[in-house]
Amino acid sequence: MTVPLHCLYSFRRCPYAMRARLGIVFSGLQLELREIVLRNKPVQMLEISPKGTVPVLQLAGSEEGVIEESREIVEWALALKDPQGLLKTDLAYANTLIEQNDHEFKYWLDRYKYADRYLECSQLEYRKKGEVFLQVLETLLSKNKYLLGDDISVADISIMPFVRQFAHVDRDAFYTLPYPHLQQWLKGWLEHPSFVTVMTKYQVWQEGDDPVMFPPER
Q: What is the pLDDT of residue 153?
A: 98
**66 φ, ψ (degrees, to nearest 5):** -135, 135
C-alpha 43/C-alpha 85 separation (Å) is 37
**Intervals of CATH 1.20.1050.10 along the chain:** 91-195
C-alpha 120/C-alpha 116 separation (Å) is 10
**Strand pairing category for 7-10 and 31-35:** parallel
pLDDT along the chain (218 residues), means of 10: 82 98 98 96 96 97 89 98 98 98 98 97 98 98 98 98 98 98 98 98 96 90
Residue-wise pLDDT tens digits, 118-151: 999 999 999 999 999 999 999 999 999 999 999 9
- CATH number for the segment(s) 91-195: 1.20.1050.10
Q: What is the pLDDT of residue 63?
A: 76
Domain 7-83+200-214 is found in CATH 3.40.30.10 = yes
**Intervals of CATH 3.40.30.10 along the chain:** 7-83+200-214
Total number of residues shown for the chain: 218
